[in-house]
Structure formats: structure tokens, C-alpha cells
Chains A and B, each alone.
Chain A
Amino acid sequence: MLEGAVLLAALAAGDPQAGEALYSRCLACHSLEVNRTGPKHCGLFGRRAGSVPGYDYSPAMNRSKLVWNEKTLDRFLADPLKAVPGTTMTYAGVPDVKERADLIAYLKQETTAARCGK
């Protein structure tokens, strides 16, 4: 219970500006607007995992039944292969809670911004 409250507090305190710098780690595979090695991030929040048109997901992601929000993103980003075994996002993850919160804050800000057609 306390752990959940701490997580929610951390997520609420996420700094999108710090998250922008962290997002540079993602740029070999991801962009906001277009599918690349990984799927695009525009429209991420509230989207069912495995549902971006034109992107060829792993069977594992298609089966995951995840819907992306702060909590599911936090769990996935902490350890993608533990959260979705078999995902093609073969990345060890972002172990630092504050860094994940910042990254999620940035994603939330940018994926609902004008550049994403919102």
C-alpha cells in the first residue's frame, strides 16, 4: 500500500524537462510521430499495447493486454523483458524511479501535444 503511494507520488512529481533528456536514450528505435524499430509514441496514453497500425509487434506484446498509462509504463520501463517476456524491446530498463517518472511525464506531455495532432 505504502509502496503504491510512493510510486504515485513519484509519478506525479515527474519532470518533463528532465524526461526530454532521458528520451534521447530511446531515439535509436523510437520517435514520437512515426513507427521505427519501435512503434511511435504519439497517442500512447490510453492505447492498448500492440495496436499501432502498420507496426509489426511481437506476439508477446500482442498478447499482453496492457493498456498504456502511468502505472503500466512504469512497470514496463523498469524491466521490459520481465513485464512482457518475449518483447522485442530488448532493453535492460530504467531502474531509477525518478528517471522513469520524468520520462513518463515527458511522454505524457509530448504525446498529447500539437506535434501529435492533439
Chain B
Amino acid sequence: MSFFAFSSPQVARRAFLGKSGLLLSGTAIALLSGREVLAKQAGGSKAGDVRILNTALSAELEAVAAYQVGAESGLLEKPVLALAGQFQGHHKEHADVLAKTIRKLGGKPLEAKSKYEFPTDSLKNQADVLRFAAGLEKGAVSAYLGAVPLFQQRDLAKAAASILGDEAMHWAVLRQALGENPVPSAFVS
């Protein structure tokens, strides 16, 4: 059986990329078109929504940096390395959309830190890197789940839920790669 239980990793990546690409495009459209309306709205809720978006942006930028560490570790084999690059690309897309949305709401997006600290000493092999990435993705799912009900603007909540879905797929694929049950429960928390 192949890495993803598809006929080949290439097929799996094409299938995954196709579906998630559609999802993220939809998110971007929803966010950016929605912001045009939101930008004209006054009210205290905007500051709160900007704060939520900036926290999400910070975590997305950190995820981009984490995947970079994984990619440069020399521990990832070719199919997994390509997958890490793909997932990193998704996080970059999330970060770009979040930053644009924050600007459109009149806020100032956080910038990437000049340096991130990761537990590189504990990453000895591919499984360690995958487990670390899976932990970040699982945490991201929980973080978005905790943020979705806080948005004042429902279209922002919808967009955040779309990102949550993408990151849940990352988590599942990484668990599958580790030989774990990719979908361990009916609900995420």
C-alpha cells in the first residue's frame, strides 16, 4: 500500500492539492470580498476581529517557519518532503489572506519574527518531524475551533472554519504517515 493509501504519492498529492486548492480559493474570495463590506462598517467589533485574525496570523507564520525547519532538516524523504512543501504553501496562503484581511479591516498585520525557536534537538528522524508537525496542525485545528465562535462577523467565522478544515486534513495525513489512525474521533476539540 502506498504512503497515503492512494495508487501513488503523486496521485495522492494531486488529489489533495486539487481539493484543498479549491477550498482555499473559496476562503480567499470570501475573506477578501467580505472585507470590502466590512471595511466600511464601524463599530467596536472590528478591533476584536482584528485581534483574532492577528493571533491566527502569528500561528500561521510560525507554521510556515516550522515547515521550513522540517524541509531543511535533511530528515524528510522525497515524497514526504514534497508534502511538507505543499502544506507549508497552504500556511503561506492562509497567512497572506489573513494579513490582507487585517489591512482591509484597518488593522496592522503582525510580521514574521526574525527568529523562531523549535525543538530541533529532539528531531532525530522523519517520524520525529512528522510528529512535531502533526502536533502543530492538531493545535491549529483546536485554535481555530476556539476562535470561530468569537468572530463578530459571520463571514470571518466561515473563512476561519475553512482554514480549520484544511489544517485538519494536514493533521490527518500526517497521522496516516506516522501509521496512526488518521481520524481518531468523530469530533475535533
Q: Name A's B-contacting residues (CB within 8 A).
A: 24-29, 31, 33-37, 58, 81, 86, 88-93
Contact = CB atoms under 8 A, between A and B. Distances in A.
B146 A91 contact: yes
A91 B151 CA distance: 10
A33 B140 CA distance: 19
B149 interface: yes
Nearest to B144: A28
B189 interface: yes
A31 B132 CA distance: 12
Interface residues of B, number: 27
Contacts of B59: 28-29, 37
Nearest to A60: B51
B77 interface: no
B183 interface: no
A50 to B, nearest CB: 16
27 contacts: A24-B138, A24-B139, A25-B138, A25-B143, A25-B189, A27-B136, A27-B139, A28-B139, A29-B55, A29-B139, A29-B143, A31-B119, A35-B117, A36-B62, A36-B116, A37-B55, A37-B59, A81-B150, A86-B51, A88-B55, A89-B55, A90-B52, A90-B147, A92-B145, A92-B146, A92-B147, A93-B146
